[in-house]
Amino acid sequence: MRLNFAPHKTVIIGVLNVTPDSFYDGGKWFDLDTAVARAREMIAEGADIIDIGGESSRPGSDPVTEAEEQRRVLPVITALAKSATVPLSIDTRHPAIARAALEAGASLVNDITGLRDQKMIDIVAKHKASVVIMHMQGEPKTMQDQPQYDDVVGEIKAFFAARIAAARAAGIADIILDPGIGFGKKLEHNLAILNRLEEFHELGCPLLIGASRKSFIGAITGAEIEDRLPGTIASSVAVVLKGVRFLRVHDVKECRQAIDVVDAIRAVR
Ligand code: HH2
At 53-80, the pLDDT tens digits run: 999 999 889 899 999 999 999 999 999 9
Question: What are the residue ranges of helices labelled H in 84-197?
Answer: 95-104, 118-126, 152-169, 187-195
- Pocket probe for ligand 1: among 11, 13, 15, 90, the residue whose CB has the most ligand atoms within 8 Å is 15
User: Ligand 1 centroid vs 62 CA: distance in angstroms?
Assistant: 14
The distance from CA 77 to its chain's CA centroid, rounded to whole angstroms, is: 17
Instruction: Report the pLDDT value the prediction gives residue 248, as an integer from 0 to 100.
Output: 98
Mean pLDDT for back-to-back runs of 10 residues, the chain (269 residues): 81 97 92 97 98 94 95 98 94 98 98 98 98 95 91 98 98 97 97 98 98 98 98 98 98 98 94
User: Ligand 1 centroid vs 162 CA: distance in angstroms?
Assistant: 22
Please indicate whether residue 178, judged by its CB atom, sits closer than 6 Å to ligand 1. yes
Please indicate whether residue 69, judged by its CB atom, sits closer than 6 Å to ligand 1. no
Q: What is the dihedral of CA 159, 164, 166, 171, to 10 degrees?
A: 170
Instruction: Report the pLDDT value the prediction gives residue 219, as an integer from 0 to 100.
Output: 98
pTM strictly above 0.85: yes
Residue 17: strand pairing partners: 53
- Shortest-distance atom of ligand 1 to CA 110: 7
Please indicate whether residue 36, judged by its CB atom, sits closer than 6 Å to ligand 1. no
- Shortest-distance atom of ligand 1 to CA 55: 22
List, by residue number, the catalytic residues.
Answer: 214, 248
Q: How far apart are CA 159 and CA 112, in angstroms?
A: 13
CB 50 within 8 A of CB 88: yes
Q: How far apart are CA 88 and CA 2, in angstroms?
A: 10
CB 18 within 8 A of CB 72: yes
What percentage of the chain carries pLDDT values higher than 90? 90
Q: Please tell me the chain's helix, strand, coil percentages from 3-state DSSP, rounded to the nearest 5.
A: 45, 15, 40
Instruction: Report the pLDDT value the prediction gives residue 149, as an integer from 0 to 100.
Output: 96
User: Ligand 1 centroid vs 269 CA: distance in angstroms?
Assistant: 35
Instruction: Report the pLDDT value the prediction gives residue 2, as an integer from 0 to 100.
Output: 63
Please indicate whether residue 15, judged by its CB atom, sits closer than 6 Å to ligand 1. yes
**Per residue in 152-168, pLDDT tens?**
999 999 999 999 999 99
The closest alpha carbon to 20, from 33, 10, 5, 31, belongs to: 31
